């Protein structure tokens, strides 16, 4: 049995920026403290929501190191080190391991993409070269690649491949994966609006965008499910479903950074090519946030 990296709600934390577009490391430390104070169970650094694809190598490593150092083992830190270049993914992963990351989040190759056989070779090649657990990250809407349940079976055979962040939105495929893999690999919901359905099928928690603004509430939904109280989990999930959807009304992380700025968390802008929300969409987001008493 592989060791579970975390249970509950892990925040896919934003990377705060200064107005000139540089990384705001001081604010990152404040966000980490805010998350830990409000019951977040783990931190995902340099994921999609952290704009990892817009960070250069030096920034990517410094953001990971800052997060690991400041978190100081209070909760697990999982570093996003995936790439569409297998060799570069290995380079980043080895560096993150040396920094002290508790796990690695590994997105599927994007743009050049690959076959299911290519996915197996890519992930096994990386997993052979590190000694920390890997979370496979399946997000076809971003990458154009979808990991099939049968492929997960093969990948789960590797001791260092410990978990899946599943963000393909396909509950039927999830059930198939669970049936095939059993306890050989942990699963986390990659979509905030599917926490309870995923956990009812055995997932260990969520990797959450929503947790950036309401970490305690995200934790509570997952914890209710971990406690076997799916009725409470569903009640909380549906309570916040409108807000969760509003956070994906534009390309992630544009809406969540906008929301955080409206709440006074001052995380700054997204880096180009991401830009500000159109006024009409931002006004809808504001209206939704007002309904929840956030602004």
Please identify every residue annotated as catalytic. Answer: 137, 165
**CB-based contacts of 231: which residues, under 8 Å, 6+ apart?**
none
Domain around 80: 8-230
Domain of 56, CATH number, reads 3.20.20.70
Domain count, the chain: 1
For the CA atoms of 223, 226, 227, 230, the dihedral, rounded to the nearest 10 degrees, stands at 90
Separation CA 286–CA 295 (nearest Å)? 8
Within-domain flag for 22: yes
> Each residue's pLDDT tens digit in the chain (295 positions)?
789 999 999 999 999 999 999 999 999 999 999 999 999 999 999 999 999 999 999 999 999 999 999 999 999 999 999 999 999 999 999 999 999 999 999 999 999 999 999 999 999 999 999 999 999 999 999 999 999 999 999 999 999 999 999 999 999 999 999 999 999 999 999 999 999 999 999 999 999 999 999 999 999 999 999 999 999 999 999 999 999 999 999 999 999 999 999 999 999 999 999 999 999 999 999 999 999 999 9
Within-domain flag for 187: yes
Within-domain flag for 283: no
Within-domain flag for 109: yes
Within-domain flag for 235: no
Contact 139, 108 (CB under 8 A): yes
**Residue in 5, 75, 80 with CA at minimum distance from that of residue 40:** 75
Contact 241, 215 (CB under 8 A): no
Within-domain flag for 144: yes
């Amino acid at each position: 049995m592989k060791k579970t990296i975390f249970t509950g709600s892990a925040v896919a934390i934003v990377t705060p920026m200064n107005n000139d577009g540089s990384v705001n490391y001081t604010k990152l430390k404040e966000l980490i403290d805010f998350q830990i104070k409000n019951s977040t169970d783990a931190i995902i650094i340099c994921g999609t929501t952290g704009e990892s694809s817009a960070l250069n190598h030096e920034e990517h490593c410094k953001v990971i190191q800052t997060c690991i150092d400041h978190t100081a083992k209070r909760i697990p830190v999982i570093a996003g080190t995936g790439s569409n270049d297998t060799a570069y993914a290995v380079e980043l992963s080895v560096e993150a391991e040396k920094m002290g990351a508790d796990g690695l989040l590994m997105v599927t190759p994007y743009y050049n993409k690959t076959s299911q056989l290519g996915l197996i070779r890519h992930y096994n090649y990386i997993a052979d070269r590190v000694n920390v657990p890997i979370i496979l990250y399946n997000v076809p809407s971003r990458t154009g690649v979808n990991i099939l349940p049968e492929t997960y079976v093969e990948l789960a055979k590797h001791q260092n491949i410990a978990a899946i962040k599943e963000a393909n939105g396909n509950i039927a495929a999830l059930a198939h994966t669970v049936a095939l893999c059993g306890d050989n690999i942990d699963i986390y919901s990659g979509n905030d609006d599917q926490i309870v359905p995923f956990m009812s099928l055995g997932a260990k928690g969520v990797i959450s965008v929503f947790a950036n603004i309401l970490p305690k509430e995200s934790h509570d939904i997952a914890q209710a499910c971990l406690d076997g109280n799916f009725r409470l989990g569903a009640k909380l999930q549906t309570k916040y479903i409108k807000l969760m959807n509003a956070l994906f009304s534009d390309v992630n992380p544009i809406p969540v950074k906008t929301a955080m700025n409206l709440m006074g968390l001052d995380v700054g802008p997204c880096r180009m090519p991401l830009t500000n929300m159109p006024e009409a969409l931002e006004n809808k987001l504001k209206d939704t946030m007002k309904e929840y008493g956030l602004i």
